Structure 1
Amino acid sequence: MAGTNMMTLFEGRKGDFIKILNLTLEGTMRRRLLDLGFVPGAIVEVIRKSPLGDPIAFRVCSTSIALRKEESINIEGELVNNG
């Protein structure tokens, strides 16, 4: 990623707040994530990482959602606040 605050959701650490900039997913999974609130401009909080790093739990729009690496690595954002 270009800037120091740019990252994928997968790269986030517990307590980080990330503003979504782009989703590079296609098809049904893209539509499902957009419906759940993973839209450009939304703020996502990293709330829990599994011991092996996959899946990761996120909070978006007052809802907790766990995503696998395959999905979270394709959501790009900007670090807003570091816990």
Structure 2
Amino acid sequence: MTDTIKLSQARRGDRGVIVQVGVQGHHHEHEAELERRLLELGFVEGAQVELLHEGLFGRDPIAIRVDDMRVALRRHEAASLTIRLDGGAL
């Protein structure tokens, strides 16, 4: 069984594949801009991700490996990404 969660809900060490970028439904201008920026950074459907590190205060920001890159995001930004968790190595 595979679990689908928002990347913002992931914990350190969680790995998976991006299955959706952005929020379904109508986009506000801010949401559309965030989605565009995430896509430019390489957060595309099918990309493998791993949560590497969580900040000390409120677990924010988070460091994520996206394929071969490392990117830091705030959890509210990571909530725009849906991933399918898996146990496989990247």
Q: Paired residue for 2:79? A: 73
Of 32, 36, 60, the match for 1:31: 36
How many residues align? The count is 81
Deviations 1:14-69 (A, max 9, x none): 11112111122532221111111100111111000112211111011311111112
TM-score, structure 2 normalization? 0.77
Of 53, 58, 75, the match for 1:48: 53
Higher strand share: 1
How high is the sequence identity, in percent, across the aligned residues?
37
TM-score, structure 1 normalization? 0.83
Q: Paired residue for 2:68? A: 62
Alignment-mate amino acid for residue 7 of structure 2? L
Alignment-mate amino acid for residue 84 of structure 2? E
Q: Which moved more, 1:38-47 or 1:21-30?
A: 21-30
CA distance in 2, matches of 1:80, 1:48: 18
Q: Which runs of 5+ in 1 are unaligned?
A: none
